[in-house]
Amino acid sequence: MEEYITIEENVIEELTEKKSRFIANLIKVENKEEAEEKIKGIKKKYHDARHNCIAYRVMDEEAIIEKSSDDGEPSGTAGAPMLNILQKNNLCNVLVVVTRYFGGILLGTGGLVRAYSDVTINSIDKAKKIRKIIGIEFKVKLEYSNFEKFKYYCKINEINIVKTEYFEDIVCNIELKEKIKTRLISDFETKKINIKEMQEFGKKYI
- pTM for this one? 0.83
pLDDT at 203: 83
38, 95 Cβ separation under 8 angstroms:
yes
pLDDT at 61: 73
pLDDT at 90: 95
- CA-closest candidate to residue 185, choices 170, 197, 167, 172: 197
Strand 20-28 and strand 94-101: the pairing is: antiparallel
pLDDT at 179: 87
pLDDT at 60: 84
pLDDT at 63: 85
The one-digit pLDDT tens for each residue of the chain (206 residues) are 678 999 999 999 999 999 999 999 999 999 999 999 999 999 999 999 999 999 999 988 778 999 999 999 999 999 999 999 999 999 999 999 999 999 999 999 999 999 999 999 999 999 999 999 888 999 999 999 999 999 999 999 999 999 999 999 999 999 998 889 999 999 999 999 999 999 998 888 88
User: Among the residues of the chain, which ranges form H helices?
Assistant: 32-45, 79-88, 108-126, 147-156, 181-189
- What is the Cα–Cα distance from 42 to 44, expressed in whole angstroms? 5
